[in-house]
Chain A
Amino acid sequence: MSEDKQGLDFSTVIASTVHDMKNSLAMLMQTHSQWLARLPEAQRSGSELGVMEHEFAHLNGMLVQLLGLYKLGVNQLPMCPGYHELDDFIEAQLAAHQDVLSHRDLLASYRIDTVNPLGFFDRELIGSVVSNILNNAIRYAGHALLITVSEEDDQLLLSVNDDGPGYPLQMLERQSDYVQGINPSSGSTGLGLYFAARIAALHERDGLQGRIEIGNGGPLGGGVFRLYLP
């Protein structure tokens, strides 16, 4: 192998390509929905459409995540926390997935049980985490999804529940490995958990860091993703 230092820095190449891919995908999605709107009502449904929309969202989520991971790797992921209205935040997440949800005929709802209507976090970063987790939940859910927000020990607890088969046992047992980025090769779910854990940990208060947790059961009996923000 030659030790040519002139060679490309491959991670930068990927990052800038992903950036373009993301723009291109955005245009594709936007055009797709415009085109759909022009079709007669009868042709605007069908399971293929559901698949397309879900895969669009999935692709987009992965690209966002990839860019995020790249920036984390080079210490360039900016963090700018602020106060955000919780209902607004959750509604926006669900609205972004509304097309997929309706094509898959999934009932998505949310419940906010906090005294304070505002949460303190980086809206964009937490948004990308929740969006990925939602995509995952949509893939496995049978009929319903539920997002809950509550307070636990002075921390904000955001959980995404589905009524699917739940996370594989092996994954639950090894969740700390995923979170630490050990063996991240196990597909997008594992990488997603790693990303989520890193973003959660960027949220810190008085030495306490945010964290994530996965489990089964919960109000819908399927998979549960929990995000704790101090």
Chain B
Amino acid sequence: MLVYSQKSFLIVDDFSDFRSSVRSMLRELGVRDVDTADCGEQALRMCAQKRYDFILHDFHLGDGKKNGQQTLEDLMVDKLISHECVFIMVTAESSQAVVLSALEHEPDAYLTKPFNRIGLAQRLEKLVQRKTLLKPILQALDRGKPAEVLTACENLCRQDQRFAPLCLRYRANALRDLNRYEDLERFLKAILSSRATPWAYAALGALLFKRGQIGQAQGIYEQALKAFPLMPGLYDGLADVLTATGETKRAQSVLEEAVRLSPLAVRRQMLLGKLALGNEDFDGASRAYRQAVSQGQHSRFKDPESNLGLAQALISKNGGGGMDARTRVEINSALSEVAKEYTDDQGLQVRARLMKATSLIKAGDPETAAKLTEQAMARIEGMDQFFSAEAALLVATQLQQLGQDAASNGILKNCVEVYGDDPAVMKNIATLTDDPTILGGGNEAVDLNRQGVRSYQAGNLGGALDLFRRALVLQPKNISIALNTTQALLRLAGDTPTAAVLEECRACLSRVAGIPESDARYERYRKLHIRAFGG
């Protein structure tokens, strides 16, 4: 029997009877340090204060509350528990919980209610044994060193090859984190050819998708769903693939299937809302966004885009006609939440106001709508943050609908300057305007930038810098050109850039300081920023 007297336990359950029952079982096992919580939020706060060795968490803590899987995700992502902590998911009925965790963060064990002291003791003892066996791997995970995880796995497998299957997932995740994609692909394919598991399918699908092998990724997901048709996460992957290939109708129905299997998923509902909105299924879009908004209240994945999406879907649903009182209340509350909770986000504030104005026109109050639109446009003038390309297009569309063509064109012109080197963005802009001065506005700079990239890749750094500089004069707010110029400058300057070089870098970066954090290039911007401005 293990000695538990020095170990700390946390019991999370909404039934006080159950908490006291488990507490007394633990006391009988010699445990002294037992804390309890009645919801996931409280558990998170407690874990932020104290390091627990064991957590027994009930899966279903009531409707509208975080479930055990969500708490576990938060604990892992926010690094509130060590990988050495034993996390046991307590379930009334295990199947649902297993399905939800199968693809990402898995608890160490499930314990189905009812259980007795002997059953609990047996699980604890065995789990401690396993954690001890895997200790070097878990410690490497805590340090965030994937290379050390791999070494630890190799050592364990060398010690006893029979335990190799316990390392599979750790190894796959480490290879992914090390960007060793070819090794990872080989590794996952070997796993699937011997013993197929849902997580291995999902990992391979995601890898192929990330590397642009869309067709193959689709094949993997379809094969996976034949074997495991009840795993919602696999539907998510397939929907991503279908969205990328433009099959948005099919993507929507695939996600609907996933939502049917597992409705409690904020990101999934939000994505479904977006797809449905794009497919002009306004009923479906409102349903999904409504779920995303309400579930988001308790989730780390809360996202104001869902509120804006919900308002958009409800407005579009009511086509030409007026709006009933209930719909207006729903739109108002969705939008006021954005206005109140994201006061520092200029872009969101503008978008919430424009959305409100659009809804007011539908509702028959053009005066207030006009005032709100004025306000929003004044805010756009003062913005130093860039809209993401997607948001810019939405705002431009909305301004057009509100009869503000000049302002709409202004947004589009700005969007061409900032994102004009991205053909996908240009294609979308072309659906909103035929104006050649807007559409062609960035051509020359984009062309110079393209030549610059070619020179840079060919090793002609001086020539590249010259081309980038010329492009930048034409479009100083283009993110790609600004980053390319900075990178070329720093590369040419070597380890000790002169003050003049640093000055030029800073000027480049300052003009694109509005880059949204959601932009794929944000990380690159940040790194260059550190080099130009110091840490």
Contacts and interface: CB of A to CB of B under 8 A. Distances in A.
Contacts of B110: 123-124
Contact of B126 (A37, A80, A91, A123): A91
Contacts of B15: 27
Q: What does DSSP make chain B's interface, helix, strand, loop or mixed?
A: helix
A124 B163 contact: no
B126 A34 contact: no
Q: What does DSSP make chain A's interface, helix, strand, loop or mixed?
A: helix
B31 to A, nearest CB: 15
A85 B118 CA distance: 18
B51 to A, nearest CB: 26
Contacts of B20: 34
B17 A19 contact: no
Given A80-B198, A116-B162, A92 B122 contact: yes
Interface stretch (A3-11, A94-102, A143-151): A94-102
Contacts of B118: 95-96, 98-99
Contacts of B230: 76-79
A132 interface: no
A92 B99 contact: no
A124 B59 CA distance: 15
Interface stretch (B61-69, B90-98, B316-324, B363-371): B90-98
B24 A95 contact: no
Contacts, number: 104
B114 interface: yes
B92 A26 contact: yes
A34 B116 contact: no
Interface in B62-115: 92-96, 98-99, 102, 110, 112-115
Contacts of A64: 93
A88 B126 contact: yes
B98 A78 contact: yes
A19 B122 contact: no
A160 B393 CA distance: 66
Contacts of A215: none
Contact of A30 (B98, B114, B165, B168): B114
Contacts of B117: 33
Contact of B99 (A25, A80, A127): A80
Nearest to A117: B162
B121 interface: yes
Contacts of A19: 92-93
Q: Which of B15, B93, B121 is most buried by chain A, counting CB atoms within 10 A of its CB?
A: B93
A71 interface: yes
A34 B28 CA distance: 11
Contact of A77 (B24, B95, B162, B197): B95
B99 A78 contact: yes
A188 interface: no
Q: Which of A30, A34, A71, A123 is most buried by chain B, counting CB atoms within 10 A of its CB?
A: A30
B435 to A, nearest CB: 54
B17 A120 contact: no
Nearest to B113: A26
Contact of B98 (A83, A96, A124): A124
B122 A30 contact: no
B166 interface: yes
Interface in B121-160: 121-123, 126, 130
B126 A26 contact: no
B187 interface: no
Nearest to B169: A82
Interface in A109-127: 115-118, 120, 123-124, 127
B197 A96 contact: no
A216 interface: no
A79 B166 contact: no
Given A81-B197, A95-B122, 13 more contacts: A23-B113, A31-B21, A37-B24, A78-B95, A83-B165, A85-B126, A92-B122, A95-B118, A95-B123, A96-B116, A116-B162, A118-B166, A124-B94
7 contacts: A19-B93, A33-B21, A71-B95, A78-B98, A81-B195, A83-B168, A92-B126
Interface of B: 15, 17-18, 20-21, 24, 28, 92-96, 98-99, 102, 110, 112-119, 121-123, 126, 130, 162-163, 165-166, 168, 195, 197-198, 228-231
